Amino acid sequence: MSFKLQELKYPHNALEPYIDEETMKLHHGKHHQAYVDNLNKAVEGTKFADQDIEEIVKNLKDVPENIRAAVRNNGGGHYNHSIFWDIMAPGGRGKPQGELAQKIDEAFGSFDKFKEELENAGKTQFGSGWAWLVLDGGKLAVVKTPNQDNPITEGKYPLLGVDVWEHAYYLKYQNRRPEYLSTWWNTVNWDEVSKRYEHYKNK
Ligand code: MN3
């Protein structure tokens, strides 16, 4: 068995005007595909070829040292982007609802404060990486990771993540990462983020 690039649940132009079609085509079809291909090469002939990508990234310390860096970068790349495509949707889905909305208010003071904190994490991630909303010991927090690292390797469950690699925004926003980040909220599928919250809240 090998890892596969999943189809997007929406067309490449569906996140316009916030994320342009060309960026989506390259990002999904080339960048994500390359992570999948390189992950498959790294784990070929090992037991990891048959494991769930989340389990692999979560238990990165169990991956043999000779392939760990390749799995960290490409397995992380595969896992991170799979989350990213899922938590976006055409037209977005407004605001968090119910228990997740309440937990965001408790943890950050308000939804706007949370947005500010996540954007700030994305802006201040030096070089390539991600900004995340995570469940850390049952509490919501914002963290950032370099490269293709995922917070789950540190035991923090990712509910939402925004890619701040230049390939995620450069065609449309050039060097304006803050503008990409503030616009990105229009794409967030809060129904999916809530599902992730429900799935991870008791772990
Ligand atoms: Mn990317």
- 60-114 pLDDT tens trace: 999 999 999 999 999 999 999 999 999 999 987 678 999 999 999 999 999 999 9
Last residue of a domain, one of 86, 116, 135: 86
Nearest to 8 by CA among 24, 31, 30: 24
164 C-alpha to center of ligand 1: Å?
A: 7
Task: Quickly count: other Cβ atoms within 10 Å of residue 104's Cβ.
Answer: 22
In the chain, how many domains are there?
Answer: 2
Task: Quickly count: other Cβ atoms within 10 Å of residue 76's Cβ.
Answer: 24
**143: three-class secondary structure by DSSP:** strand
Find the domain containing 185 and state its range. Answer: 98-200
Give strand pairing partners of 140: 135
First to last CA, the chain: 28
Q: What is the pLDDT of residues 39-65, one digit of tens each?
A: 999 999 999 999 999 999 999 999 999
Contact 78, 32 (CB under 8 A): yes
Taking all residues of the chain, what is their mean pLDDT, rounded to a whole number? 97
Is there a single domain that holds both residue 104 and residue 80? no
CATH number, domain containing residue 143: 3.55.40.20
Is there a single domain that holds both residue 111 and residue 195? yes
Does an H or E element contain 193, and which? helix 190-200
Is there a single domain that holds both residue 192 and residue 104? yes
Domain membership of residue 93 (yes or no) is no
Is there a single domain that holds both residue 136 and residue 46? no
- Based on its alpha-carbon atoms, the radius of gyration of the chain, rounded to whole angstroms, reads 16
**pLDDT attached to residue 1:** 65
169 C-alpha to center of ligand 1: Å?
A: 9
pLDDT > 90? residue 203: no
Q: What is the pLDDT of residues 159-183, one digit of tens each?
A: 999 999 999 999 999 999 999 999 9
Domain membership of residue 57 (yes or no) is yes
104 C-alpha to center of ligand 1: Å?
A: 26
106 C-alpha to center of ligand 1: Å?
A: 31
- 200: exposed, middle or buried (C-beta count within 10 Å: 0-12, 13-18, 19+)? middle
Domain membership of residue 92 (yes or no) is no
Last residue of a domain, one of 31, 62, 86: 86
Helix residue ranges, H only, 44-131: 53-58, 65-70, 76-86, 98-108, 111-124
Pairwise CA distance, residues 25 & 203, whole Å: 35
166 C-alpha to center of ligand 1: Å?
A: 8
